[in-house]
Structure 1
Amino acid sequence: LHFFASAFLAFLMRGNIIAAIFATFFGNPITFPIIAVSSVQLGHWLLGTGVDAVPARLILTAFTNAGGEIWSNILATFTGDPTQWGKLRHFYYGLFKPYFVGGIIPGLIVATVCYYVSLPIILGYQKLRQKRRRERAENLRERAAARLRARSSVDDGASGGS
């Protein structure tokens, strides 16, 4: 359903349906745990924090808890309840920062590969679209010229008969 949902949303937003489907090919519920775990591990390695393997379940739980804490703190500004930011500090340094840092290198590699793979497809599509536009414009010009000739011959016939 992930592919269909992305194609439908791209269609609704008048976006590129093919690009939406390609994007969901890489980032989907099946690949997300692999991407998350590898990004966190690579990030910890790059940052030199020396943390052992972080299970995917823990990553999802940590992001969920962080979102809940942010939401509680937003509500606290309107209700007068005390805000609690301590857990977010641990989340930021223990998970979010390594996830962010570890995702940059693989993200740049995948983005570069996808760019060069999709570029000929996009250029071919644009060329085909321009050709269709030219053909449509030429067709409209021909029909307009035919209408003008038809009017002109009707006008010549009406004025010649008087």
Structure 2
Amino acid sequence: MRDTLWPRMGLRRYGTYLRKRLLRLSASPHAIGAGVASGAAVSMFPLVGIHFVLGFVLAFATRGNMIAAAIGTAWGNPITFPFFFAASYRLGDWMLGGGGVSAREGQAVAATGEQLSQGLFADGFSSVWPTFKTMLIGSIPLALLVFATFYVVTRMLVSRFRALRQERLAARRSPSAAPAKNIS
């Protein structure tokens, strides 16, 4: 259970690994930015379990890098999903003109232990559809915002990283950077 919620190497080291892996990809800054943005954007949807597939489809559509899309899906994880789902529900409820929890959802929340023992889908998908629909509608604008933000930031970081790397390599190759040989 611990490994599911917390990487064995620690969050900081895992984040450093993902950042370095991302910056060293051989794709263009656009492809890396679109890939990361695709993975991060689909993490906003309440479709847990198919984020990788959706990230790959969106990365393909935007000409993004598939590895970058897989790395971008790390934005959605067991720590962040409750925040994403709460935000998507609230936004979706606002977009649908709702006033909070519907009567049907209120009945589901107030279910007794006996009703819960029959299972969440005892009445079929129709029992969770109002909540799922609200979250799905609310996640669309959030996904668009996340895509735009991650694309701009990632593309800028990759471009800057590559420019600094080229400067370092050029400084190593220039004759003035080489130490003077002692000809005695």
Range into which the TM-score falls when normalised by the shorter chain: 0.3 to 0.5
By relative contact order (CA 8 Å, sep 6+), the higher-ranking structure is 2
Which has more helix, going by share of residues? Answer: 1
Q: What TM-score do the two structures reach when normalised by structure 1? A: 0.43
Q: What TM-score do the two structures reach when normalised by structure 2? A: 0.39
Structure ID, larger Rg: 1
